[in-house]
Structures are given as C-alpha cells and as structure tokens.
Structure 1
C-alpha cells in the first residue's frame, strides 16, 4: 500500500469526481490525488461504492436539516469523516492483519505448491524412468524373442543334421554290408580258383608220373618222349605259373578292392588281414608245389642211366628193335 493514501482520501476524491458529474475510476482518482497504488485505490474504491448510498442519504439529511449552522455542519461532517477514517484505519489494520495471515498462508501454500511441484517433477522423472525401463524391457523382450527364434532355428538345423547323420549312417551300414558281401564273394571266388589251381597241379603231376612210367618201357623212345614231355611239362608248368600269377593278380585286385572297401567302412581291417594271410598261404603252397619238376628230372635221369646200362649189356638185335 502506497504511503500517504488512506481510505478517506480515496472516498473524498471519489466524492469530488462524482460531484462534477463524472464516474469515479482508478485512473481518475489517481490523477485527482496525484499518487496512489492502483491496487490500493481499487480496494478503497470498492469500499466507497459500498458506502456511497449511505453517504448520499447522510448528505441529503444534512441538506434538509433547517437552521443548522454551516460551521456545525462542517464540524459534524469532519467528525463523521474522522469516525469513518478511524473505522477505515481499523478496517485497514484488520485487513492488513488478514492480508499478512493471507500472505503467510499464501507463502505456506506456495511452499506446499513448490513441494508438490518438486514431488510432481520427481514423480514425472520416475514415470520417465519407468517408461525408459519399460522401453528397455520391451527391447530386451524383443531381443529375447529374436534369440529364442534363432535358437529354434538352430535346433531345427541340428535336428535336420541329426536326421541327415542317421541317414548317412544307414547308408554307410548298407555299404558296409554290401562290402562284406563283396568280400565274401571274393573270398569264395578265390577259394574256388585256389581249388581249381590245386586240381590242375595234381593233374599235371599225374600226367608227369604217367609219362615217366611210359618212358620206362623203352630207353630211346623214353628219352625222346621224355624230352617232349619235359618240354610240354615245362610249358604246362609255365602256364600253371602264369595262371598262378593271374590268380595272384586277381587276388591282389581283390585285396585292393577290399582295402578300398575297408577305407570306406572302418572296422574291416581284420577281415582284410585274414584275406592277406590266406593269400600268403596260397602263395606259399604254390611255392612248395612248383619244385616237383626238378625231382622228376633227377628221378628220370637215374632211370635213364639204369636203362642205358642194361642196353649196353644186351645183344645188338634187341638194340635195333628198340631203336625201331
């Protein structure tokens, strides 16, 4: 409230303005007084409007009172104005007290408002943090969902790989069975070839023994026939050796097939070793069978020597007959 301005001053200024036939306003009262706060003038102008009817009636009564001296009227007017001023000051004091209480209340409310604003801001921050956490949780959930989908895809790939491995295992087992059957067939064929070779060797030996027996009948014919038979026997032996070499080559080829089969299907090494041992025994048997020819040669020589001695001791006609 501006200093030097009271409710009485504002009321008197309003009375003066309205006496001129104009409506009192805040700007006109401030211009009439030359000072005053707009808030204070507004407040006292409102009280003037509340008491304007009473003052107008008071003035009408004063104007209607006959024989009242002007000085008495002025004095009574001043007393009334002084009473009004005291009442106004009292009202101002009460209003100031109320205003102070109101200001304190306003400050308390302002403090509470600031506190509430801070709480609201803190709540807003917590809400933002919660929203950020929610967004982070949503992103984490999306990431987990993507990881779960990726893991599901990997599981499906692993299942397909497992099924493929099962199928490959079955195929390898089938190939292994086929290889085993092939080895069995190769072994059977090898046994048949070995038996056929042994039969042929025995037949050759039988023929050789038969030829030796025929050579005993006649020395010269035996010598000539023996030479032919020896050549034939050598040829037959060479053929048998060639057949043995061919059989060995077939055996080696069978061994190579067996080795390739063993390389594709692990675990057949023992059977291949057995087949090799069988081949070695057959080769050894063939090696022991081949030297029969020199024995026959030595035996034939002894028989020829014995026949020659008997020939030298016999008479000539027998020799001619033997020659013929």
Structure 2
C-alpha cells in the first residue's frame, strides 16, 4: 500500500472521529498531497474496512442491530455524498480537460509563433548579413564618390574661372544688345504710330462703307417698293388695256352694225321711193335707225376718247417709271447692278403695248 493511501485512511478516520464526513477535498486538505483518484480509492478502502469491522462478532448482541442500522445509514449517506462529490469531481475533471485542451491549443499556437519567430530571426540574420555586405559596398562606393567629388571640385574651380571670363564677354555683348534693343524700340514706336494711323483710316473706310451699305439698303427698299408699284400699275394697265381692246372691238362691231344699218336705211329709202303705202312706217323706222346710229356713233366716240385717255396715262406712267428707275440706278450704282437679278426688275420692255 502506498504512503498516500495510508495517510488518506488515517485522515478519514480522524475526520470521522471528529464528527465530520470524510470527503476527498477534506482528506486532501488534511494530508496536503495525493492525486484525486488515489484519495478516492483510499476512501473506498476505508469504508470497506469500517464495514468489515462492523460485521465482526465481537460486538455484543444488543449492539449489533443498532450498529448495523447506524452503519447502513452511514453507508447510504456516504454513498449519496460520494455520488454528489463524484459528479462534482467529474465536472471539474471535464473542465480541467477542456482547460487542458485550450492550453494545448495555446501551446501549439505559441509553438507555431515561436517557429515563425525563429524563422523570422533567421531571416533577419540573413538580411543583416546582406545589409552588412551592402554597407561595406556602400562604404567602398562612398570612397570612390569622394574621389570623384574631389575631381569635380577641381573641375568646378576651373569652370568658375571660365564662367567669369564668359560673364565678362556676355556683359560686353549685353551692352551692344541693349543699344540694338533701343533702336528696335524706336522703330517699333514708329511702326505702332503708322499702324494707328492706318487703323484710323481703316475705321473711317469701314464707317463710310457702313453708310454706303445703309444707303444701298434704303435704295434697295425703294427699288422694291417701286417694283411692286410698277407691277401693280402694270397689272392695272393690262386690265385697262384689255377693257380698251374690248371697247375697240365693240366699237368695230358698232361700226359694222352702223354700216349694216346704213345699208338697211338706204334700202328702206329705196323702198320708200317705190312704195307709198309703207312710207310712213318706213320713215318712222328710218328715224329710229338714225337715232340708233347716232347713239352708236356717240358711244364709239366715247370709247375712242377713253382709249386715248388710257394711252396718254400709259405714256405718263412709262415716263414716271423711267425716271424712277434712272434715279434708282444712279443711287445704287455699279454695286447694285452686279448683285441684283436682272430678271427680278421689271422694265418697260415687259409692259404690254397696244
């Protein structure tokens, strides 16, 4: 038997003597050591030994039954407490196992992190070696650049002397250039004055052209107005000429009718001479025909007078149109002759004549 089991049994017996129920926590607190399973096994053996002692025949008969009853109650109570404590212990064991799994996972993560850190450290060492090598190369390059800088400094000194000489020559050239610039400025001022004069003349020419365009527009409006008037009067004259032609044809018809009437009158006169019985009737008819002839002659004379008046008015209208067109051509000038459409301007040749 191990020492832990012996100590656990002794502690359980002392707890039982003090009136306390021996449990795994109390026993472990009393002895201060031992695993949970070992203490539980020792308690099982302790209760088994207590039972064997209680079954021994050394007890008096009157005490056997009370002791057995007490023992049964103690065993039942101990079993109930044992089940409760066992469930609690199993729950704690499950929690500890979960905690152990969590710690295992954390340990794995820490191990992986450590591996990554070691890898990073190795990489850093490699990088450090590369940087050290690069630093050595840069130092060598720096020495080379320092020598190059010294050489460039010497060349800069020489270049400064050359630049000073060039600057002196440039100052001399600049003085000559300034004189040329002054001369060019004077020439520019003269050219600007000439340009202003030409611009002024150009503005005056533009204003004159604008006035001429206004006059041309007015003349064109007047020409259009006269053209419209001429067209309307030409149309009226054509209508009057048509009426005059109709009147002339009517006059010719009246002349022919008058001739026929005269012939009839002569025939009637002959009949009057040959027949006395109808002389009075024929005389009246002759008088009526004579009156009709005089009326037709007067009407023909009136129509001829109207035709003469229309012809006189036509001649006056042609003269006024010719004067208006002459004034329009003098105002418009050659510019209007090139721009206007000759077919759009009516002339006297387009006016119908009788």
User: So what's the TM-score if we normalise by structure 2?
Assistant: 0.34
User: So what's the TM-score if we normalise by structure 1?
Assistant: 0.37
